[in-house]
Structure 1
Amino acid sequence: MSTVEEEDGLVIREQFSYFTKPKVQCRITITQSAVSVENLSTRLLERIDATDIIGCHCMRPKGAPGHAADDAPRPTAEFRGTQPRELDAYICIYAYTCKKRSDGAAAHFKRRSHIFRVGKKATYEANLRLAAFWRTLVLCVARGVRLSKATLAQAAHVADLIPSRKPMLILINPKSGPGHALQVFRQRVLPILSESDVAHDVVVTSRAGEARQLAAEQDLGQWSAVVIVSGDGLLYEVYNGIMSRPDWDAWVDFPVALVPAGSGNGMAASVAHACGLLPAFLQNPVLTSSLGLAKRLELAMDLMMVQTETEELVGFLSLGWGLLADIDIESERLRVLGGARFSLWAAARVLTLRTYRGRIHYLSGQEEVVRPGDERRVERPRLERAVTIEGSSSEVVGRKRPASESVTGQGDGDAADDGVFQELMLDQVPTPDMQARRHRLSSARDERPPIKLGIPSLDQPPPDTWSCIEGEFVLVYGSLPSHISGDMHLNPGARLDDGLLHLHVIRAGATRAQVFQYLLGLGDGRLTELSFVEVYPVRAVRLVPETPSGYITLDGEVVHYGPVQAEVHRGLGRVLCPRMR
């Protein structure tokens, strides 16, 4: 092994062999930005970018020392001439490469598993130590840990270079959307968590409001993030549970993540859009979002504090009155159809167009528009161990990848062969902290004063600096991020933390054809080109309905019908994402 300290960081090289071709040697080079693999026979060089790597495992053949079934017969079957040797250890690098379209946009992710033999030492234990050392180096590169000769020398154990992390809390609503959320988690999310060594607690909700109660009462310090496997409604519960806590101001920025498994998946689509991964998200939304759990990068996102006549709430997505709010709520009876319910009900509602009388008071946010590149992002590389944890309120979900699961893009050439075969033949070597749960129960957070509303309460008139629109409206709808569902691109120019609620207004007098044109435009975001659509970027808004009945929605959930106001708080929340733009 050679180690060279260069200006850009440490460069470490070692020679191994390919798992599929044990007689072919390769040279692995680790730098701060990538892992490079050179085939010493063909001199072909393959680069694995650090941003693509989600995990690395030490592997061993079944029957090797330390295996639970050591006395069992050793495997004798061969596959394409490949046979594990008892003294060898193995390194498996999991990477998801984002393939680009001709226009440079991210089209889809391709999975690659790179497996190498470590057999230079005379004993299996020595080879395993060397494999574990290189596993740590790969994870340091993937997690952004700076490597140097000094840090390697000062570490009591090389594994200490990887920061330990608390488990994630995963909330699954099995009845969201078409009712496939639990299946989505088991078959498509769990393999990503396993490959990236993400410890997790799983709670499968059984009733409405359960997530809200959990967020309000549990010690959130047990976890590093809350992951929603559902639609946007479950995240709405979590945030409003947090807001009901006496110490809400200490936890409102608790990291969240969304894996789309519901009817409306607006925040998941908005996160992908913010990362430049929207085409990949549309191709495979679950995979694109799940990679955010593995990479654990954070983006700041806006939240809005909302007041009605009966309660105070928090929202992260939208505030609606009129057509879109009616479609959202009245289409609930078609929930089994998933996202298609919105399209079907929208067609029906256009034929029976309604109007609503009232006033819109707003504080313009034009001067708050953020230039591209000014987004406030927080990048905190993280790592934790892959183990499913049993808790009193959690449903335990196994972590082993089913052999029957179809996984495309396993890898080709010398780097990898058939991924399912490799994982059946080789067992992951458990690390010490995979044997027990390591919770850090401290809930200490940075202290800061409670957030106060900067606008008058509902029983007071709006300030003179606010503008007012009065009349009859077909639609009044404001959204914080770019998307309000997976296929509804309301605000192409919106950013997660621009501090603005983007308010769309369609007044009475718009024809059915024009409204239908607006609904069709939600798919590609070309709404500002429509002359009958007024768009107002605002920092605060107050809606005062005068029509006696209707729906007002916050993040797709019904709130009290009557006067309501919202104030945007810029960058108050945190959401996990797979990579930065």
Structure 2
Amino acid sequence: MPLPNSIIGYTQADRVRVRLVLEDGFLLIDHAQTYGNQPSLGCFSSISCVSASSTDILQQNSIVYFNVLWAELLPSTLENHPPILTIDYCKVKDEKKATLDRVSFLIDAQNERACDAWIENLLNTSYRNTIRNKRLLVLINPFGGQGAALTRYKKYSAPILAAARCRVEEIETKYKGHAAEIIENMEGLERNYDAIVCCSGDGIPHEVFNGLSKRPNVAAAFKIPVCQLPCGSGNALCVNLVGSNDLQFATLSVVKGIPIPVDLCALTQDNKRYITFLSQALGMIADCDLGTENMRWMGESRFTVGLIMRVLSGAKYPCKVSVRISHESRTQVRQAYHEHKNKAHTSTFERTQLPDLKYGTVHDPIPEDWKSIDTSSLAVFYVGKMPWVSSDALFFPAALPHDGYMDMILIDSSIPKKEILSILLGVAEGKHFDSKYLHYYKVDAYRIEPKAHSGYISIDGESFNFTPFQVELHPGLGTVLSRTGQFQAPGIGI
């Protein structure tokens, strides 16, 4: 028997009769007598809380299913008073900012059973692409976001997770590497959680992926989706998966997120092997990321200021780059992007241990089919697996979740300074992609060997030893929660 798609209720303040209808991607609310067979489709912006009058409620009369968190029928606390239908949802403005809200209606006692069925229909529809009551392991870096991560999580995220009836375990990290230890050693992780939520910058996701890589059953561990609540100075994972840095909208996107596979990268350096999910950098990018800690008070703008300073000083970073290039010209990169953009991918990795290294480690001989690139006057060496490296830097516009490639950018310091500045200041909108002054490749693997004695290497925004390292791809190894099932980036034209 099909579940009902409409129910009659009454506003609490003035007992105006309304009909709630599930149709065309919206929960519609309007005067019952105005519906007939053609319900009007209002444009949702807000619905006031429990004490709202019928005018307040009916002026803004639709809620997108994605924004619905929960609904239930509650018995009244007053004698001889009808039960109350409550709907918890996020009020979303400009598609990227959200606030928690609730609307309530009185339901005739004789309609309780029909209302229960309607609620089930609403929740089934609202959670069509994901699961309800997610079991979430929330790792909070209390030092993130200038020390405000815990406070912001409690104020903005926790109420939304509670409204969605998520089952949450919260753990505060105590020191660098603690998140990796928690994930590596937690008993029953794969059995007990539907997602790992990093309330932090990009450092905790980096630790989580590396912790997962050390689990007894790697395949099972990497099937747990990883996501981020933006509470750090760098929140690239969230920007790529959600398309916003708004904490409440990101929390809504965790509740409604769709699990998708993502490529991860294996990095070998010295005698260790790491997982990297976001980026690897040497040169100006790493220098600005890690060498501007004294400017952290400036927020994300410290990066731009640092870049300008280094470009004007003519900084260069000599090194040796050996790379296996898959797509070299901009035309080939475009073709690869559009070939893989809408291609479905399901992870088939089932081994209990990490995949073998196809190209060996940084200590092995460089394969003969790799290309050696002259980088004696390198300005920027940057490799990424996600389009956005921060909310205002679309460095890798051709990056896709699981296309099987890394995107590599090389910029030489010998080109005019104004061109370097133009490239680096154009990354906010990805305008640098077509510049003739940079190299943009799709690559399978690479090795980089610094020639200087000291400097910065940034891996997922974390500082690594200034020694040679090698990276290759593990296709579809990881899992993340995406708002729409893909990266939130404009992409590149044909």
TM-score (norm 1): 0.71
Q: 1:346-495 counterparts in 2 under 5 A?
A: 346-366=307-327, 369=337, 371=339, 373-376=341-344, 450-472=354-376, 473-495=378-400
Task: Return the alpha-carbon distance in structure 2 between the equivalents of residues 53 and 542 of structure 1.
Answer: 47
Structure 1 runs not aligned, ≥5 long? 65-84, 101-105, 146-161, 273-277, 379-444
- Give how far 1:40 is off: 1.8
Residues 1:141 and 2:125 are matched in the alignment: yes
Partner AA of 1:317 in structure 2: L
Q: Is the 8 A contact 2:287 2:456 kept in 1?
A: yes
Q: 1:51-200 counterparts in 2 under 5 A?
A: 51-61=66-76, 63-64=77-78, 86-96=80-90, 106=95, 108=97, 113-121=102-110, 127=112, 131-144=115-128, 167-200=135-168
1:113 counterpart SS class: strand
Partner AA of 2:193 in structure 1: W
Name the structure 2 match of 1:293: 254
Task: Return the alpha-carbon distance in structure 1 between the equivalents of residues 472 and 416 of structure 2.
Answer: 32
Task: Return the alpha-carbon distance in structure 1 between the equivalents of residues 13 and 261 of structure 2.
Answer: 43
Deviations 1:146-191 (A, max 9, x none): xxxxxxxxxxxxxxxx977562011111211322111210111112
Partner AA of 1:21 in structure 2: D
Task: Return the alpha-carbon distance in structure 2 between the equivalents of residues 59 and 163 of structure 1.
Answer: 23
Single out whichever of 295-304 and 509-518 deviates more from structure 2: 509-518
Name the structure 2 match of 1:206: 174
Structure 2 runs not aligned, ≥5 long? 42-61, 487-494
Task: Return the alpha-carbon distance in structure 2 between the equivalents of residues 377 and 189 of structure 1.
Answer: 31
- Give how far 1:99 is off: 6.0
Single out whichever of 249-258 and 12-21 deviates more from structure 2: 12-21
Deviations 1:506-529 (A, max 9, x none): 113133323222221121111123
Task: Return the alpha-carbon distance in structure 1 between the equivalents of residues 80 and 308 of structure 2.
Answer: 65
- Give how far 1:119 is off: 2.5
- Give how far 1:225 is off: 1.1
Task: Return the alpha-carbon distance in structure 1 between the equivalents of residues 411 and 342 of structure 2.
Answer: 31
Q: 1:277-356 counterparts in 2 under 5 A?
A: 278=243, 281=244, 285-356=246-317
Name the structure 2 match of 1:401: none
Name the structure 2 match of 1:556: 461
1:19 to 9, 12, 35: 12
Percent of aligned pairs sharing the same letter: 24
2:215 to 245, 266, 270: 245
Q: Is the 8 A contact 1:331 1:345 kept in 2?
A: yes
Deviations 1:216-238 (A, max 9, x none): 11121322211011100111111
Task: Return the alpha-carbon distance in structure 1 between the equivalents of residues 374 and 397 of structure 2.
Answer: 27
Single out whichever of 48-57 and 235-244 deviates more from structure 2: 48-57
1:314 counterpart SS class: strand
1:513 and 1:361, CA in 2 relative to 1: closer, same or farther beyond 3 A?
same
2:227 to 257, 263, 269: 257
1:263 and 1:327, CA in 2 relative to 1: closer, same or farther beyond 3 A?
same
Name the structure 1 match of 2:184: 216
Task: Return the alpha-carbon distance in structure 2 between the equivalents of residues 232 and 93 of structure 1.
Answer: 34
Q: Is the 8 A contact 1:319 1:479 kept in 2?
A: yes
Task: Return the alpha-carbon distance in structure 2 between the equivalents of residues 480 and 270 of structure 1.
Answer: 10
Name the structure 1 match of 2:58: none
Task: Return the alpha-carbon distance in structure 2 between the equivalents of residues 377 and 459 of structure 1.
Answer: 32
Task: Return the alpha-carbon distance in structure 2 between the equivalents of residues 95 and 107 of structure 1.
Answer: 15
Q: Is the 8 A contact 2:213 2:354 kept in 1?
A: no
Task: Return the alpha-carbon distance in structure 2 between the equivalents of residues 36 and 494 of structure 1.
Answer: 38
- Give how far 1:504 is off: 0.8
Single out whichever of 247-256 and 469-478 deviates more from structure 2: 247-256
Task: Return the alpha-carbon distance in structure 2 between the equivalents of residues 164 and 447 of structure 1.
Answer: 29
2:66 counterpart SS class: coil
Task: Return the alpha-carbon distance in structure 1 between the equivalents of residues 307 and 74 of structure 2.
Answer: 53
Task: Return the alpha-carbon distance in structure 2 between the equivalents of residues 286 and 235 of structure 1.
Answer: 16
Task: Return the alpha-carbon distance in structure 2 between the equivalents of residues 37 and 257 of structure 1.
Answer: 33
Task: Return the alpha-carbon distance in structure 2 between the equivalents of residues 285 and 372 of structure 1.
Answer: 29
Task: Return the alpha-carbon distance in structure 2 between the equivalents of residues 365 and 21 of structure 1.
Answer: 67
1:535 and 1:328, CA in 2 relative to 1: closer, same or farther beyond 3 A?
same
Residues 1:267 and 2:262 are matched in the alignment: no
Residues 1:227 and 2:197 are matched in the alignment: yes
**Which of structures 1 and 2 has the larger relative contact order (alpha carbons within 8 angstroms, sep 6+)?**
1
Q: Is the 8 A contact 1:250 1:446 kept in 2?
A: yes
Deviations 1:471-530 (A, max 9, x none): 321111111100111211102232222222111111131333232222211211111232
Name the structure 2 match of 1:400: none
TM-score (norm 2): 0.83
Partner AA of 1:120 in structure 2: A
> Considering only aligned residues, what root-mean-square deviation do their CA atoms show, in Å?
2.9
Residues 1:37 and 2:52 are matched in the alignment: no
Name the structure 1 match of 2:56: none
Single out whichever of 12-21 and 537-546 deviates more from structure 2: 12-21
- Give how far 1:574 is off: 1.3
